[in-house]
Amino acid sequence: MALITQASIQAVLDACDMLEIVAPYTTLKKSGTSHMGRCPFHGEKTPSFSVDPVRKLYYCFGCGEGGNAFRFIQEKEGLQFVDAVRSLADKYGVSLDYESSSPEEEKRRVGKERIYSLLDQAAGYYSRVLQESSSAAAARDYLSRRGFKEEVISDFRLGFSPEKGKALLKAATAKGYAIEELVRAGLLSDRRGGGKMDRFRGRLMFPFTDHRGRVLGFGARVLDESKPKYMNSPETELYHKSRLVFGLGNARRAITRENRVFVVEGYTDVLALNQAGMPAAVASMGTALTEQQMREISRFTKNVFLAFDADWAGRSAMLRALEPARRLGLNVRVIEMPTGNDPADLVFATGGLEQFGELAASAPGLLKYQVQTALSLSDLDSTEGKVQAFKKLGPILSQAPNSIERDEQIRIVAGRLRLSPENMAYLMQSAPSTENGDAGGSTKRRVLSQGEITERSFLSLCLAREEEAGRYLQLMTEAHFTTDLNRSAFNWVKNRLASVKETGSVIKETALPAGGELSDLISELFIRAQTEKYSPAALPELFMRLCESEIYRRIEKLKSRLGSGEEVDLKELYRLEDRRRGILRKIQSGTFETV
């Protein structure tokens, strides 16, 4: 695929308004040269999220999330870097230029864009048929009887496919699309006796979109007793049922704003919740909630409420969700629907929306739900029943993350099985288990050493006091820093300050790195430089501490060589020892002149 030129990327960054980009996710208030608010990446009561509107940077002092405008869009909207650039380019009217690519690559790119366009136009065609055609009267009546209003029908682009076997085929080819493109998009099927015909005929149409709202395929429902009741697009280069979450394109912003998502079974459940004022709802495309779908959801929130039907299929799907949810670090809760009701039935009933809210507020965690279900389905009056219950619950409890909830459930199970907690814990040692950790993409910030913290504090101060910092940086080398990342940040800061001094502006090579750990660190350093308060003596003191640490490391290296019998310049060793003691005396006395 052709790459976007660096000049275009910079043009997009220059054009975008950082405060406008962040505004849908949190409320900001001006604080000095920055703006502060509650972090949209983690729950907090005290604002610790800082935005620099000039440099287009953000950083949270609570959770450590930081970066530039592109990174913010990537994280909040689940986009790759290229897609984030394109999204902001569209928003701010910036035309993108691409690096040259091979004719084959360009042909593939253009071909794929045509399929996206074809599917979008097909959705528009079906929508017009639903609104205007007499053949769609039954579909309109069905939606009206179900209580769906025009607004939600329009928002989700519902449509109707004509009964005629070639209605869409003729409309699409008249616009210049080839039959091969219609096949690639999953819109045609083989006709008896040869040839092609519309895949969807006489059905209520539900467009399937990705998180960006691009149409990937369709779900189609009959309005009579015909079989199959539901028909989906076939697997294509764009549509993969096991990965897709229905309604995510509509719900994405609400999910990130509320930091939660309701996962239901059916399309109409999503529409009903949306219409009732709960837009953070998606459907699993059936009762089987796949790990790929959960991974897609996890890009926007870790708080998942499952609201499946109260039948065996729905309960089974929720029971199977524990392991992938654990691997992905999701906080899953289970809304136990009243028997005979699905979410659409419930929220459309009198008082149903309030009841759904109450069920959500009291929803048990997935672990508790699994334990309750397994116990309720077991014959705990018999020894065999208790054995079978433990066989179900042992692996569930042993694989659950260590937590207060887990310990509480162990006590409950021990009581129901009439085992002591000690015996229960002993028996669980034989249950299958997996290593707890960050499998499945969940990541944790590495704990920094005190030395790394000092190094980063020094670099942020250099950015805060650029005129003063130059004389310290010119006396330093990479040896003053202990990690590759901090050494890279040192070189970047040093080059930046040198370019500002020499040319009065930042040279291209020292522009903020695009993506990666270094970009995150530089963003953090900039935000800290603007928001943290340091004493006047902080910069020279930190400089001296880094010098002392660097000399100490050299001394230790010489001593290790001396201990192994190698020849060592003792005069150099004594000189370094004397130098280090002198620096320590100055630090202790508060005398921070340049050394």
pLDDT tops 50 at residue 440? no
Given pLDDT bands bounded at 50, 70 and 90, which one contains residue 140?
A: very high
On whether the CB atoms of residues 264 and 343 are closer than 8 A, the answer is yes
Q: Are residues 27 and 77 in the same domain?
A: yes
CATH number, domain containing residue 112: 3.90.980.10
Neighbours of 18 (CB within 10 A): 21
Cα distances (angstroms) measured from residue 183 to each of 128, 236, 260: 22, 9, 37
More confident residue, 421 or 98: 98
Question: 406, 382, 404: which is closest to 396 by C-alpha?
Answer: 406
Residue 67 has what DSSP assignment? E
Given pLDDT bands bounded at 50, 70 and 90, which one contains residue 310?
A: low
Q: Is residue 238 part of a domain?
A: no
Given pLDDT bands bounded at 50, 70 and 90, which one contains residue 245?
A: very high
pLDDT tens digit string along 176-234? 999 999 999 999 999 888 889 999 999 999 999 998 889 999 999 999 888 888 899 99
pLDDT tops 90 at residue 338? no
Task: Enumerate long-range contacts of 563-568, CB under 8 Å, 24 or more apart.
Answer: none
Q: Are residues 343 and 380 in the same domain?
A: no
Given pLDDT bands bounded at 50, 70 and 90, which one contains residue 415?
A: confident
Distance CA 154, CA 97 (A): 34
Given pLDDT bands bounded at 50, 70 and 90, which one contains residue 251?
A: very high
pLDDT tops 90 at residue 129? yes
Give the mean pLDDT of 494-506.
77
Neighbours of 332 (CB within 10 A): 24
Q: Which structure tokens are listed for 534? A: 């340091």
pLDDT tops 80 at residue 434? no
Q: Which structure tokens are listed for 489? A: 């940040």
Beta bridge partners of 304: 261, 332
Q: Are residues 507 and 493 in the same domain?
A: yes
Q: Are residues 383 and 507 in the same domain?
A: no
Q: Are residues 433 and 454 in the same domain?
A: no
Give the mean pLDDT of 549-553.
93
pLDDT tens digit string along 157-167? 999 999 988 99
More confident residue, 182 or 285: 182
On whether the CB atoms of residues 26 and 39 are closer than 8 A, the answer is yes
Q: What sign results for the dihedral spanned by CA atoms 389, 394, 395, 399?
A: positive
Q: Is residue 201 part of a domain?
A: yes
Residue 321 has what DSSP assignment? T
More confident residue, 300 or 102: 300
CATH number, domain containing residue 395: 1.20.50
Who's near 144: CB < 8 A, 6+ residues apart?
A: none
Residue span of the structural domain in which 217 resides: 108-232
Distance CA 258, CA 141 (A): 34
The model carries a pTM of: 0.62
pLDDT tens digit string along 518-538? 877 887 787 777 767 778 889
Cα distances (angstroms) measured from residue 2 to each of 88, 212, 340, 513: 18, 21, 53, 21
Least confident range from 64-78, 235-249, 258-272, 494-508: namely 494-508
pLDDT tens digit string along 467-485? 889 989 999 999 999 999 9
Who's near 477: CB < 8 A, 6+ residues apart?
A: none
Residue 429's pLDDT is what?
Answer: 55
The radius of gyration computed from the CA coordinates of the chain, to the nearest angstrom, equals 30
| Order of strands, sheet of 34-37, starting from the edge strand that comes earlier in the sequence | 29-31, 34-37, 49-52, 57-60, 66-68
pLDDT tens digit string along 258-279? 889 999 988 999 999 999 999 9
Residue 379's pLDDT is what?
Answer: 83
Domain end among 363, 392, 427: 363
pLDDT tens digit string along 166-186? 999 999 999 999 999 999 999
Distance CA 288, CA 286 (A): 6
| Composition of the chain by helix, strand, coil, percent to 5 | 55, 10, 35
Q: Are residues 474 and 350 in the same domain?
A: no
CATH number, domain containing residue 345: 3.40.1360.10
More confident residue, 107 or 276: 276
Distance CA 85, CA 5 (A): 11
CATH number, domain containing residue 27: 3.90.580.10
Residue 512's pLDDT is what?
Answer: 63
Q: Are residues 532 and 569 in the same domain?
A: yes
Q: What percent of the chain has pLDDT over 70?
A: 89
Q: Is 501 exposed, middle or buried (0-12, 13-18, 19+ CB in 10 A)?
A: exposed
Distance CA 368, CA 147 (A): 35
Q: Are residues 219 and 281 in the same domain?
A: no
Distance CA 428, CA 422 (A): 10
Residue 309's pLDDT is what?
Answer: 73
* Mean predicted lDDT score pLDDT of the chain: 85
On whether the CB atoms of residues 395 and 432 are closer than 8 A, the answer is yes
pLDDT tens digit string along 345-403? 899 988 889 999 999 999 988 888 888 888 888 888 776 677 677 777 877 787 776 67
Neighbours of 300 (CB within 10 A): 24
Residue 436's pLDDT is what?
Answer: 38
Total domains in the chain come to: 5
Distance CA 471, CA 177 (A): 66
Give the mean pLDDT of 20-32.
89
More confident residue, 130 or 512: 130
Q: Are residues 268 and 359 in the same domain?
A: yes
Residue 382's pLDDT is what?
Answer: 75
